[in-house]
C-alpha cells in the first residue's frame, strides 16, 4: 500500500524497496500517485488505484498499464472493459464499493471482463475480536461468489493478523509496512520504518518557578536544565503532544515542557551533560515507537506518519 506517499515515507523509495523484497502488487489512492509509482518501478509490477477512474482521467489508465478499482456502477460503466480492473464490494464500511443491492447488476455489467481482484475492507479491523469482522467476511464470501474466477482480497494489516480465513488470495498491508500493527490495542512490536530527529538549538538553566513557552503552560517545580529543539507543529509534530510526549536523547525519554510551538519544542534535559547545541533528539523511531507516539497524541499511527513523517520529509526540517 503506497497511498499518501507511502504513509509519508516517500512512495518512490518505498515502492523500490518493496519491489526488491518481492512485492508485485501495489495500491495507491489516486491515479497521480500511481503514475509516479509506475515511473519508479518501470514495467512489471501491477498497480491499482483505489479511488477508481473519473471522466477526467479514465483514458490515462491503460497507456500506463494501471488498473482501477471499480467502486460503483457508474465507474464500471465508465471503464467499459478498457482493460484489467478490480472490483470493490462494500460489506459494511459504507464508504466506497458496490452495495448489496447493486451486486447482480455489477455482475451483469462485468460479464466477460478481466477482474484482477474482488476486494472489500474491514471496518473494525483494529479490534481483532470484534464480531463485525466475521460478519463482513461471510458477506464478502457470499458476494464474491458472483465473480468465481477472480482472486479475492479482504485483509489489510489488521486483517492479516486475524489468520488464514481472512487472507484469501491477496493481503494488502499498509501501516504494518511502516511500523504499526494497526490495532486499537495490543499491537505487535514491529521494526521502525522511519526515524525523525531534530537538533538542539539552545540549552539553558532555569530556576524553580520559571515558566516555559506560550501561555506559560509549564512551571518548573525545581531547578531544571532545558533544551530547545528545532521541531514543531509546522513540521507535523502534533501540538497535542505538548506536555504529553517526549524526545529520546542520551539513553532516556526527555519530557516535553509546555506547548509545542510552530518551529520549536522544549524538552527536559536535567542532569544530562550530553545536551549541547547541535546534538540530535529523536522524536520518532526505534526509541520513540510509532504506536506509543500516536497513543500519547490521542490519535492513530496513520495520522502521525502522514502528517509528521510526511511533512518533515518534504520540508527537510528534521
Angle at which helices 31-41 and 11-20 pack, to 10 degrees?
Answer: 50
Q: Is the pTM of this model over 0.85?
A: yes
Q: Which one of 3, 178, 246, 302 is the catalytic residue? A: 3
Residue 214 appears among annotated catalytic residues: yes
Tell me phi and psi for residue 170, to 5 degrees. Answer: -150, 130
For 69-93, the pLDDT digits (tens) are: 999 999 999 999 999 999 999 999 9
Burial of 295 (0-12, 13-18, 19+ CB in 10 A): middle
- On whether both 37 and 105 belong to a single domain, the answer is yes
Q: Which one of 111, 178, 214, 302 is the catalytic residue? A: 214
Helices (H), the chain: 3-7, 11-20, 31-41, 58-61, 73-79, 103-109, 131-144, 157-160, 290-297, 301-303, 310-315
> Cα 178–183–188 angle (5° rounding)?
65
Domain boundary among 178, 207, 225: 178
106 vs 44, residue with greater confidence: 106
- On whether both 172 and 297 belong to a single domain, the answer is no
- On whether both 160 and 275 belong to a single domain, the answer is no
Domain boundary among 119, 148, 178: 178
Domain that holds residue 127: 3-178
Residue 195 appears among annotated catalytic residues: no
For 127-167, the pLDDT digits (tens) are: 999 999 999 999 999 999 999 999 999 999 999 999 999 99
Query: Is 189 domain-assigned?
Result: no
Q: Diameter of the chain by CA atoms? A: 77
pLDDT grade for 316, boundaries at 50, 70 and 90: very low
Mean pLDDT of 185-202: 93
Query: Is 286 domain-assigned?
Result: yes
Domain boundary among 178, 213, 234: 178
- On whether both 62 and 108 belong to a single domain, the answer is yes
Q: How many CA atoms lie within 13 A of 155 on its CB side?
A: 20
Query: Is 188 domain-assigned?
Result: no
- On whether both 224 and 155 belong to a single domain, the answer is no
Amino acid at each position: 500500500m503506497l497511498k499518501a506517499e507511502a504513509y509519508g515515507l516517500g512512495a518512490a523509495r518505498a515502492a523500490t524497496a518493496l519491489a526488491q523484497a518481492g512485492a508485485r502488487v501495489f495500491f495507491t489512492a489516486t491515479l497521480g500517485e500511481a503514475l509516479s509509482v509506475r515511473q519508479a518501478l518501470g514495467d512489471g509490477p501491477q498497480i491499482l488505484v483505489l479511488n477508481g477512474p473519473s471522466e477526467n482521467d479514465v483514458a490515462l489508465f491503460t497507456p500506463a498499464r494501471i488498473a482501477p478499482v471499480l467502486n460503483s456502477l457508474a465507474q464500471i460503466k465508465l471503464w467499459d472493459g478498457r482493460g484489467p480492473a478490480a472490483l470493490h464490494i462494500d460489506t459494511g464500511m459504507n464508504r466506497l464499493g458496490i452495495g448489496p443491492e447493486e451486486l447482480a447488476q455489477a455482475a451483469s455489467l462485468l460479464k466477460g471482463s478481466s477482474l484482477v481482484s474482488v476486494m472489500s475492507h474491514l471496518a473494525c479491523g483494529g479490534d481483532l475480536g470484534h464480531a463485525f469482522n466475521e460478519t463482513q467476511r461471510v458477506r464478502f464470501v457470499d458476494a464474491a461468489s458472483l465473480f468465481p474466477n477472480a482472486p479475492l482480497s479482504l485483509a489489510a494489516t489488521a486483517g492479516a493478523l486475524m489468520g488464514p480465513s481472512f487472507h484469501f488470495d491477496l493481503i494488502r498491508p499498509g501501516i504494518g509496512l511502516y511500523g504499526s500493527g494497526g490495532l486499537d490495542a495490543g499491537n505487535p512490536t514491529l521494526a521502525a520504518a522511519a526515524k525523525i530527529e531534530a537538533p538542539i538549538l539552545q540549552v539553558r538553566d532555569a530556576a524553580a518557578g520559571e515558566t516555559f513557552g506560550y501561555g506559560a503552560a509549564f512551571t518548573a517545580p525545581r531547578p531544571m536544565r532545558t533544551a530547545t529543539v528545532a521541531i514543531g507543529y509546522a513540521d507535523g509534530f502534533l501540538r497535542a503532544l505538548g506536555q504529553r510526549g517526549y524526545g529520546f536523547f542520551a539513553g532516556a525519554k526527555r519530557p516535553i515542557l509546555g506547548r509545542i510551538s510552530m518551529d520549536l519544542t522544549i524538552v527536559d534535559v536535567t542532569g544530562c551533560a550530553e545536551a549541547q547545541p547541535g546534538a540530535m533528539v529523536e522524536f520518532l523511531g526505534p526509541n520513540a515507537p510509532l504506536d506509543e507516539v500516536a497513543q500519547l497524541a490521542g490519535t492513530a499511527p496513520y495520522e502521525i506518519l502522514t502528517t509528521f513523517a510526511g511533512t518533515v520529509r518534504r520540508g527537510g526540517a528534521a
